[in-house]
Amino acid sequence: MNKIIFNYLLKNFIKTFFYILLFFYCFGVILNLFEEIEFFKNLNVNLLAPLMLTSIFVPSMIIKILPFIIFVSSMWFMMKIRNNKDLLILKVIGYSNLKIFFILASTSFVLGWLVLFVINPITSSLSIFYEKTKSKYSRDIDHLATFNKNGLWIKEHLSSGQRIISADKPNGFNLINVTIFHLDKNSNLIEKISSEKVNIKSNQWKLENVLVFKKDKDIFFKKKYNNMVIDSIYNHEKINSLYKNLSTMSFIDTILNYQKLLENGYNKNFLDQSLHKMLSLPFFLFLMTALASIFTMNTLKKSENLKLISLGLFTCVATFYLNDLSLALGLTERIPIVLSIWAPVLALSFFTLIGVLQINEK
């Protein structure tokens, strides 16, 4: 009998979760499709292009709102078994609120780890493909910046032509071993600048130990300068932000290549944020199911449904707001970044612990 009841709870909870997940996926596709169509409206592509990009973009967005989805799924499932008297029957045959809660919350916890180790690597690959595909169609192609195994490459559009910059990965506020090519409007080389170190803290780049090869009547003349300043649309903050796309980094890659990513120029705070935010996901799913249990198992009255839904959604939104507020404090270095991610989880744990003890007495 226990096995039958366990299978009943597990099967129907997972089924409810996938129904809610499918609803949010379809809703996300509809919303994002309009944005993709707007992007492609002046380009010679068929409807399949925005539809394809939308379908591969939405999964990464779904992972970001997964705690909210699991909360809605838990609320929906528990209100369903409460309204059709299944919850009452389970209590009569010896299943307490606490036991039902642990089955559902543990399922959410396991789903969180499955997402990290199975789904997240797939969605991160899809996000990388999405970014690369969108960049091919970008109308703002005059200004590009990218990283590859050869370092940093930047292309800027100037009134007199173009500028192409290559350098090693950023080292603090500096670029090392920088080469700058100035091209005219016909893409002919007119000047080459080499510098051992360039400070890019602001948009006024400060070059040190500079060699300039300037073209004059088809001959390049070399001049040496101790210092030089050039203006750029890029600075340290803007270049550093190129790394900051959480959806393109999988949980497994972050763990296995943490030190290598640091050596390649990734900011330590950003990596810690990415790693711990993903690591906290299973615990967040567990706690969101706990919240849903607290709200729905306190009473068996159907008349309380609207009140419970409103209170649950308000609490869920407040939780996400406090989570973002805590993260903002971490990003501004008011508190350590790791603490800013785990503080909402710890606070929610104390709240749910009290609530779960109360529903166990019902």
Q: Looking at residue 285, what is its pLDDT?
A: 93
Go through the chain and tell me how many residues it has.
362
Domain that includes residue 38, residue range: 2-138+245-360
Query: What value does the mean pLDDT take over residues 127-133?
Result: 78
Query: Quick one: 152 and 75 in the same domain?
Result: no
Overall domain count for the chain: 2
Least confident of 31-35, 186-190, 255-259, 330-334: 330-334
Residues 34 and 122 in one domain: yes
Domain shared by 28 and 78, yes or no: yes
- Residues 161, 99: one domain? no
Q: Which residue has the higher pLDDT, 136 or 290?
A: 290
User: CA 155: distance to chain centroid?
Assistant: 26
Residue 237 lies in a domain: no
Query: Which of residues 66 and 220 earns the better pLDDT score?
Result: 66
**pLDDT higher than threshold 90 for residue 319:** no
CA distance linking residue 280 with residue 288, whole number of Å:
12
How far, in Å, CA of 327 to CA of 346, rounded?
Answer: 14
Quickly list DSSP for 328-348.
HHHHTTSS-HHHHHHHHHHHH
Which of 267, 289, 294, 283 is CA-nearest to residue 342? Answer: 283
| pLDDT > 90? residue 17 | yes
Per residue in 24-36, pLDDT (tens digit) is 999 999 888 888 8
Residue type, 182: H
Burial group, residue 140, by CB count within 10 angstroms (0-12, 13-18, 19+):
exposed
Q: pLDDT tens digits, residue range 333-343?
A: 788 888 888 98
**240 located within any domain:** no
Chain CA centroid to CA 29, Å: 18
CA distance 331 to 309: 33
* Average pLDDT of the residues in 110-122: 92
126 and 8 inside one domain: yes
Please state, as a whole number, how many other Cβ atoms lie within 10 Å of the Cβ of residue 148: 7
Average pLDDT on 95-122 reads 89
- Res 110 pLDDT > 90: yes
Does 31 fall in a domain?
Answer: yes
pLDDT of residue 191: 87
232, 257, 292 - which closes a domain: 232
Instruction: Tell whether 314 and 216 lie within a shared domain.
Output: no
- The confidence score (pLDDT) of residue 147 equals 61
Sign of CA dihedral 245, 246, 250, 255: positive
Is 258 within the bounds of a domain?
yes
Nearest one of 336, 346, 326, 341 to 274, comparing CA atoms: 341
Enumerate the β-bridge partners of residue 224: 211
């990464």: which residue's tokens? 60
pLDDT of residue 15: 93
Can you tell me the distance from the alpha carbon of 326 to that of 331, in angstroms, rounded to the nearest whole number? 9
257 and 126: one domain? yes
Residues 22 and 152 in one domain: no
Looking at residues 236-257, what average pLDDT do you find? 72
* Residue 238 domain-assigned (yes or no): no
Asked if the structure places residue 344 within a domain, the reply is yes
Kindly state whether residues 149 and 34 are assigned to the same domain. Answer: no
Residue 208 domain-assigned? Answer: yes
What pTM, to 2 d.p., does this model score? 0.73
Q: How many CB atoms lie within 10 A of CB 248?
A: 19
Which residue, of 210, 232, 254, is where some domain finishes? 232
69/59 Cα distance (integer angstroms): 13
Q: pLDDT value at position 109?
A: 95
Q: Which amino acid is at 215?
A: K
pLDDT at 8 over 80: yes
Q: Which of 108, 96, 103, 109 is nearest to 358 (CA)?
A: 96
Between CA 224 and CA 305 the distance in angstroms is 78
Rounding to the nearest 10 degrees, give the CA dihedral for residues 280, 286, 289, 295: -90
Domain match, 208 and 323 both: no
User: What does the pLDDT read at residue 149?
Assistant: 55
CA quadruple 326, 328, 330, 334: dihedral, nearest 10 = -100
Query: What are 196-236's pLDDT values in tens digits?
Result: 889 988 888 999 989 988 877 777 788 888 888 888 888 87
Q: Are residues 131 and 20 in the same domain?
A: yes
Q: How confident is the model at residue 301 (pLDDT cuts 50, 70, 90)?
A: low
Let me know: does 270 contact 243? Beta carbons within 8 Å.
yes
In a domain, 239, yes or no: no
Q: Which residue has the tokens 């596709």?
A: 29
Strand order through the sheet with 161-167: 144-148, 151-158, 161-167, 174-184, 189-199, 204-216, 219-231
Is there a single domain that holds both residue 8 and residue 123?
yes
